[in-house]
Structure 1
Amino acid sequence: MDITQFIKQTESHKIVPVFFHQDASVVINAIEASYKGGVRVFEFVNRGLNGLETFKTIIPHFKKYDDLVIGVGTIYDSKTAAQFVEAGAQFIVSPGLVTELANYCVHHNIAYIPGIATITEATTAMHLGCEMIKIFPANVIGSAFAKAVKSVLPQLAIMPTGGINPTENGLKEWFDAGVNCVGMGSQLFDKLKINNGDFNGLEQDIKKAVKTAFSLQS
């Protein structure tokens, strides 16, 4: 998926869950709950020793959803990105801006969203061909920074990630700042529900967050 398509998809669906678990079955259930909750873009986080193997296990389960976009985050180099793309990743996210990773993704027409924390990094990302950036960690940097980026680099789409609460107030401050979607991890995935296998409850939490995000755009 190229970056233009990815941006359109995130603009349409607002919330991008960010999730990892060592157990592939838990990841599969979390993605299923997210999809049923209204999510259409999902970021699998490449953590642990078996991230690639877990990803290869989960991908076949979602061929049935032709409108679901699954990508991979916490990527630091083009070699790892290529392995995940070969396994079915449709977009790549990194915690920081990695020049060789940007070059690889732009060259292969793959959506790449680098993490940035300064205007200099945002400008560098733009010059490398990135059309979307991830403000990370969002709760540390703050929504005022997103507004500042949009004022000087309005052509960049923004996906803040990290510590954003799925409440009306928590989401409103970011959408008011001009972001087109938000990445959400632990605030969206209740650990107790995950540990108890309560994926129906998780689905309801996600559905509520998605509904809240859409209500702020009307």
Structure 2
Amino acid sequence: MTDKKFIQDSIVKQGILPLFYNQSTEVSIAITQKLYEAGIRVIEYTNRGEAAIANFRALKKLDLPGLMLGIGTIKSADEAEAFIDAGADFLISPLVSHKVAAVVHKHNLLWIPGCMTPTEIHEAQELGATFVKLFPANVLGQGFVSAVKELFPGLLMMPTGGVEMDQENISGWFKAGVSSVGMGSKLITKEIIDNKAYDQLYTETLRALQMVASAR
């Protein structure tokens, strides 16, 4: 199991956290391999369907040295335990759950809860979170980050759901004070998946990493 501070630092260093789910094990493997090939070392697979746990186990068996694979959309203690048993390196939730917090602390894992209000961010911190997901980012906006950042010194923030594949948008988030950005369907698009255009995903991932580097 990889040290949680190392994983947190790796997400910040990478600057972008790709996240996805696909019902097909084959497609999930192809996406993961292509992200890795483009230089990605931390990925969030999301618990969004019946095949999630089986696919996650398959991804964990891939020979990709240094890959840290987390699981997202964890809303209950049972889900947390199941995916930790399957080898999750870290957990991400769309909300703040005391029960999930208790499980991750028991296993000493990095947990990134989803927050939408200052109260939720405060509650997440009280539960030991050092990194929060701002979700949904398209509703909150960059102004929200600027407004609340100074209330929570030292807390890392990552917007997810509404980060665009656009230099101005990505730069705006980092200027507002985020530590990383979560990117799902804007990076791993329906078109790429439908057409199995994995070389395009490779190119887009390189472009996203370059935009993050420019934003800093």
**Smaller-chain TM-score bracket:** over 0.9
The structural deviation recorded for 1:102 is 1.0
Where 1:187 maps in the other structure, the secondary structure is: coil
* Structure-to-structure mapping, 1:34-183, within 5 angstroms: 34-61=35-62, 64-183=63-182
- Corresponding position: 1:8 with 2:9: yes
Gapped runs of 5+ residues in structure 1?
none
Where 2:108 maps in the other structure, the secondary structure is: coil
Aligned match of 2:183? 184
> What TM-score does the superposition give when structure 1 sets the normalisation length?
0.95
* Structure-to-structure mapping, 1:21-32, within 5 angstroms: 21-32=22-33
In terms of mean alpha carbon deviation, does 37-46 or 111-120 score higher?
37-46
The structural deviation recorded for 1:71 is 0.4
Gapped runs of 5+ residues in structure 2?
none
Pairwise CA RMSD: 1.2
1:91-130 CA-partner distances (Å, limit 9, x unpaired): 1011111111112212321010000000001001101111
Aligned 8 A contact 1:18 1:43 in 2 = yes
The structural deviation recorded for 1:201 is 1.0
Distance 1:10 1:21 in 2: 22
Distance 2:51 2:26 in 1: 14
Distance 1:130 1:111, change over 3 A: same
The structural deviation recorded for 1:209 is 0.6
Count of equivalent residues: 215
The structural deviation recorded for 1:207 is 0.8
Aligned 8 A contact 1:33 1:203 in 2 = yes
The structural deviation recorded for 1:139 is 0.8
> What TM-score does the superposition give when structure 2 sets the normalisation length?
0.95
Aligned match of 2:202? 203
